[in-house]
Amino acid sequence: MNTRDGRMLHVQEDGDRRGKPVFALHGTPGSAMLYGAHVNDAAKRGIRLISYDRSGYGESSRHRGRKVADAAKDVEVIADSLGLERFAVWGISGGGPHTLACAALLPKRVVAAASLASPAPYGAPGLDWLNGQGEDNVNEFNAALVGSDKLARFLEPQREMVMKATPQEMVEGWESLIPPVDREAMLGKLGPFLVSNMKAGLRSGYDGWQDDDLAFVSDWGFELSDISVPLVLWQGRHDKMVPYSHGEWLAGHINRVEAHLTPEDGHLTLFDRRVPEAHAWLMKHF
């Protein structure tokens, strides 16, 4: 479908096509591809699960210079095209800030939102944003802070690695980001899906990944204090992609958020274990 400024967004739906609409916002890097376990859970709960390639990923047009806030506009365009007045939204990892944008900027349409392993805004007061991240992430975001050219040079070989990798090779290539709990998830049923999901998002290049990173370390285009809809968040203590301190910071700076700061989870385990819990929580708010 097309946006108001002429860009194309690739949308995918599954679950219960007659159910309550719930948007699933993918991570960084990622794509609209939906995980079979999430689809099955959605179907059982009466959820119409909707995903899309964020701008610059997969089959969606690039939106150069986009802010995190711009995702709310794209979600609204998709909802309008599908004839949806009210809907819920969840997002994990890089999808987390974009979920928070929807919660803040679409209060008349979002019934509830769930954020899993979301980074906090860069420059958040009292938060050492890079502390606790694996070396690969530290290098990536330091490149983003220098600018788009430096980041592009970093991401090009990273994309090439992802496009050729098996789950085992992803674990080895991103060793600094994958603690034992996430290693187990990656080498289980989740791994082949995650690799396929990332490859689908990166098949045309790394534009979406680059634009996500630049948006994360820039002004997001909204304030967390603008969030008034019901919101739940999950954060795992063993996460090396988005450190536990980010979840703690968000839990302390979003009004009336329901926070689950779990001692047993990493990053990938939230995707594997907690999305069904997020589905159940969101369905209570329709």
Q: Does residue 2 lie in a domain region?
A: no
Q: Report helix, strand and coil shares of the chain as percent, to nearest 5.
A: 45, 15, 40
Give residue-wise pLDDT tens across range 7-63: 999 999 999 999 999 999 999 999 999 999 999 999 999 999 999 999 999 999 999
Half-sphere exposure of 159 (CA within 13 A, CB side): 20
* Cα R_g (the chain), whole angstroms: 17
Torsion of CA 182, 233, 132, 98, to 10 degrees: 100
Confidence of residue 240 (pLDDT cuts 50, 70, 90): very high
CA 189 – CA 211 distance, rounded (Å): 29
**End-to-end C-alpha distance for the chain, whole angstroms:** 26
Average pLDDT value for the chain:
97
Question: Is 242 in a helix, a strand, or coil?
Answer: coil
Q: Judge contact between 47 and 34, C-beta under 8 A.
A: no
Give me the percent of the chain exceeding a pLDDT of 90. Answer: 99
Give residue-wise pLDDT tens across range 161-202: 999 999 999 999 999 999 999 999 999 999 999 999 999 999
CATH number at residue 154: 3.40.50.1820
Q: Does residue 3 lie in a domain region?
A: no
Q: Which residue has the higher pLDDT, 148 or 1?
A: 148
Q: Does residue 188 lie in a domain region?
A: yes
What is the DSSP pairing of strand 87-92 with strand 231-236? Answer: unpaired
State how many domains the chain has. 1
Q: Does residue 4 lie in a domain region?
A: no
Residue 254, pLDDT score: 97
- DSSP assignment of 54-119 equals PTTSTTSPP-TT--TTHHHHHHHHHHHHHT-SSEEEEEETTHHHHHHHHHHH-TTTEEEEEEESPP
Residue 17, pLDDT score: 95
Q: Is the per-residue pLDDT at 93 higher than 90?
A: yes
Q: C-alpha angle with apex 23: 21 to 29, nearest 5 degrees?
A: 160
Q: Does residue 100 lie in a domain region?
A: yes
Tokens matching residue 240: 């090396």
Q: Does residue 166 lie in a domain region?
A: yes
Residue 27, pLDDT score: 98
| Model confidence, pTM | 0.98
| Beta bridge pairs of residue 116 | 92, 234
Confidence of residue 4 (pLDDT cuts 50, 70, 90): confident
What is the DSSP pairing of strand 11-15 with strand 258-262? Answer: unpaired
Q: Does residue 5 lie in a domain region?
A: no
Q: Does residue 69 lie in a domain region?
A: yes
What is the DSSP pairing of strand 110-116 with strand 87-92? Answer: parallel
DSSP secondary structure code for residue 268 in this structure: H
Give residue-wise pLDDT tens across range 121-152: 999 999 999 999 999 999 999 999 999 999 99
Give residue-wise pLDDT tens across range 252-265: 999 999 999 999 99
Contacts of 121 (CB under 8 A, 6+ apart): 97, 220, 224
CA 136 – CA 140 distance, rounded (Å): 6
Mean pLDDT, range 223-236, rounded to an integer: 98
CA 194 – CA 31 distance, rounded (Å): 10
Q: Which domain holds residue 134?
A: 11-283
User: Strand order in 87-92's β-sheet?
Assistant: 11-15, 47-52, 20-25, 87-92, 110-116, 231-236, 258-262
- Residue 29: is the preceding peptide bond cis (ω within 30°)? yes
